[in-house]
Amino acid sequence: MADFFDTIYQLLTNQRALEVIKALAIILVGVFIARIATGVAVKVLKSKFDMHEVQLFRRAVFYGILALFLLSALNQLGINLSVVLGAAGILSVAIGFASQTSASNLISGLFLLGERPFSVGDIIRVGTTTGEVLSIDLLSLKLRTFDNLYVRIPNESLIKSEVTTLTKFPIRRFDMQVGVAYKENLEKVSEVLFDVADKNPLCLEDPKPLFIFLGFGESSLNIQFSVWTKKENFLELRNSFFLGVKSAFDRENIEIPFPHRTIYTGSITDPFPISFQNGQQKVDGQESNNLAK
C-alpha cells in the first residue's frame, strides 16, 4: 500500500505527469461540454431546419468544440500548435490526392445540402432502388428499402443519377391503366370508375379524378383512370382501388379482355370449332384424342 501512495505522490510531483493529467482532464471536459452544446443546438434548431440539417449542425458543433479542447490539451503538453497545423495541412493535401473519390463525394454532399432535393424521412428512388432516407452525410446517403435492407449510396452517384422524391409533395396521383372489351360502352365504364372513386374514402375530391382514353389496343379499348390521394395513403389506395374496380366490373358485367388466338386452316377458310366433350377433343363434328390424328 505504501508503494502505491509513493507512486501517486511521484506522479503528482512530476511536472510532466501533471501536464498529461491536465491534458486528459481538458479532453474529458471538452467531450462533456460538446455533448451538452449539441443537445441544446438540436432543441433550438429542430423547429427551424430539416432533420438532416440538424444532424449536420449537431456534428459540426460537437467536433468543433472537441477540436478546440484538443488543441488546448496539446498546448498544455507544450506542443507547438503552428507545427501541428502545418503538418495537418501537408497531410490533408496528401490525403486529398490519395482519395479523390472521397473528395468528389464530399463536394457532391455539399451540393446536396445546398439544393435540398429531399430530407430525412422522405421516400426516394435512385435507379432501381427505392427506400426511406435514414441519413444524409457528407460522403454518402443511407436508405432503408421496403424489405428492410440497408443501402449506402455515394453522394457522387446521386449527383450523376436521376433521383425521384416520391414524398416531396403532400399529395400523389395514382394512375390505373386498364383495358375493356370492344363491345363495352365507354361512357358506362367511365361512370363505373367515377363511382368507385367516389366511394373510396382515400380518393381526394380535389383535384378531381381523370378519365383518359389511351387508344385502340390489340384486343381492348385502353383507358387510364387517375385519382389523387395523400402521400401517406398511396399504397393503401393502390390496393383498395384495384379491388374496387374489379368488383364493380364484375357487378356491371364489364369485360376485361385477355388475348385470344384463332386457328385457321387456310387463308380463305372459316375457323374450325374445337370443343371438349368427356375428356376428348371434338374437331369438325368428329371426336379425336389428338388433333394430329
Least Cα distance to 87 among 79, 78, 98 occurs for 79
pTM above 0.75, yes or no: no
180 and 237 together in one domain? yes
> Over the stretch 263-285, which tens digit does the pLDDT of each residue have?
666 666 665 666 666 655 554 44
229 and 157 together in one domain? no
Amino acid 213: pLDDT:
94
More confident residue, 261 or 193: 193
Domain assignment of residue 266, yes or no: no
Lowest mean pLDDT among 73-82, 102-111, 163-172, 213-222: 73-82
Instruction: Tell me, rounded to whole angstroms, the distance of Cα 87 from its chain centroid.
Output: 41
- Phi then psi dihedrals of residue 270, to 5 deg: -75, 155
Spatial distance between the Cα atoms of 159 and 115, rounded to a whole number of angstroms: 11
* 210-216/171-180 β-pairing: unpaired
Show Cβ contacts of residue 28 under 8 Å, excluding neighbours closer than 6 positions: none
208 and 226 together in one domain? yes
**Domain's final residue, options 78, 98, 118:** 98
66 and 143 together in one domain? no
pLDDT tier, 170 (very low <50, low <70, confident <90, very high otherwise): very high
| 185-194 as b/e: b if 16+ CB within 10 A | eeeebeebbe
Place of cell 453522394: 155
243 and 178 together in one domain? yes
Per the structure, the count of domains in the chain is 3
Domain assignment of residue 187, yes or no: yes
Domain assignment of residue 27, yes or no: yes
Place of cell 457528407: 138
> Over the stretch 211-248, which tens digit does the pLDDT of each residue have?
999 999 888 999 999 999 999 999 999 999 999 999 99
Domain assignment of residue 256, yes or no: no
User: Residue 150 sits in a domain of what CATH number?
Assistant: 2.30.30.60
- Helical segments of 77-207, H only: 81-98, 100-115, 155-160, 186-199
Amino acid 5: pLDDT:
53
114 and 91 together in one domain? no
196 and 228 together in one domain? yes
Domain assignment of residue 22, yes or no: yes
Q: Domain of residue 131: give its range.
A: 110-165
Domain assignment of residue 220, yes or no: yes
Domain assignment of residue 231, yes or no: yes
Spatial distance between the Cα atoms of 268 and 21, rounded to a whole number of angstroms: 104
Instruction: Strand 286-288: give its sheet, edge to edge.
Output: 274-277, 280-283, 286-288
Domain assignment of residue 66, yes or no: yes
Amino acid 156: pLDDT:
87
